Amino acid sequence: MTNINWYPGHMAKTKRLIKEKIDLIDIVYEVIDGRMPYSSKIRDIDQYIKNKPRLLIMTKIDLCDMQETQKWIKYYEKQGYKVLPVDLKENTNINKILSATEEMMKEDNQKRIEQGMNKRKTRVLIVGIPNVGKSTLINRLVGKKATNVGNKPGITKSLDWIRINESLELLDTPGILWPKLDEEKVALNLASFTAIKEEVLPLDEVAIYILKTLYKYYPEKLKERYGITNINYDDILPTLDVIGKKRGCLIKGGEIDYDKVISVIINDVKEGIIKNITFDRFEGELDG
């Protein structure tokens, strides 16, 4: 499997950002995608954020298969994480995030008060791989008020910290990190739900992976969306033909436009048109 570092420039910038700011941070919001709770999680995150308290914010639960994702939530909770599943698009419960933060900071603040210090604002850093919802989360936290300030012409956006409320401040730049693509499944899951350069993973491979994974775990969705009830693993072309005809991916003469079929499949998953799917499978033991 490929081990290409796909955005080395950005990665270096993030490392610098986190290194500069981490000592000022009280709590890290680590954002992962509920449809791929393993693949979208940065495995060497500890190396960047040291031992800072962490809130694991699992986004896109409106698009995931909650039954499968729940296993991951339990798994991470067992590892000591505080996990918050959220839908940032429709039903964002920002108060849930705020109160979890307060709860996690309670002991620290108590200590501070006992030592005769002032209760300080909690400072938050958001980290995560591209496309998991970091910007959306920032917008939700900040709300209209602060966004307006930034939008006023003539006001230089120089502030590093965004005030969320009287006890919380947010670093205005999220830490964007890139996952390692050394596990084949991880790379394919990431390519299914976010974006990976085609030089790293060709689109046809991604589309075929999506079809096979849907067939394995969610055959009813394949049927529903494309009218497919069976897949021949050795020869995927007839399946692509069916989808192409159904979705009108044709070139003149009535032939199937396979590039179009491939992009239709990928788009259906990426855009959440095919919903309630989770591609990471938890295979371990949860209790005992």
Min dist. Cβ of residue 66 to ligand GDP (A): 13
62 binds ligand GDP (CB under 6 A): yes
Half-sphere exposure at residue 81, Cβ-oriented, CA atoms within 13 angstroms: 22
Instruction: Write down the residue that tokens 């390692």 correspond to.
Output: 180
Classify strands 54-59 and 27-33 as parallel, antiparallel or unpaired.
Answer: parallel
How many residues bind Mg ion, per CB under 5 A?
2
Write out the two tokens for 92.
């964002």
With respect to ligand GDP, which residue has the nearer C-beta, 137 or 188?
137
For position 171 contacting ligand GDP by CB under 6 A, the verdict is no
- Report the interhelical angle of 184-193 vs 203-217 (nearest 10°): 90
In terms of DSSP bridges, do strands 250-251 and 255-256 run parallel, antiparallel, or are they unpaired?
antiparallel
Place of tokens 């989360």: 137
Q: Considering only 109-117, 125-133, 143-151, 178-186, which stretch makes contact with ligand GDP by CB under 6 A?
A: 125-133
Extract the tokens encoding 114: 């006992």
Contact, 100 vs 85, CB < 8 A?
A: no
The least CB distance from residue 135 to Mg ion, in Å, is 3
Taking CB under 5 A as the rule, which mask of x and - marks residues 78-117 in contact with Mg ion?
A: ----------------------------------------
Q: Of 18, 49, 56, 63, which lies in the binding site for ligand GDP, with binding defined by CB under 6 A?
A: 63
Instruction: Choose among ligand GDP, Mg ion, none what residue 63 binds, the Cβ cut-off being 5 to 8 Å by kind.
Output: ligand GDP
Choose between 62 and 205: whose C-beta lies nearer to ligand GDP.
62
Does residue 57 contact residue 136 with C-beta atoms inside 8 Å?
no
Calpha distance 120→233 (Å, rounded): 59
Contact between 65 and ligand GDP (CB under 6 A)?
Answer: no
Position 173 contacts Mg ion (CB under 5 A): no
- Footprint of ligand GDP on this chain (CB under 6 A)? 59-60, 62-63, 86-89, 128, 130-136, 272
- Footprint of Mg ion on this chain (CB under 5 A)? 134-135
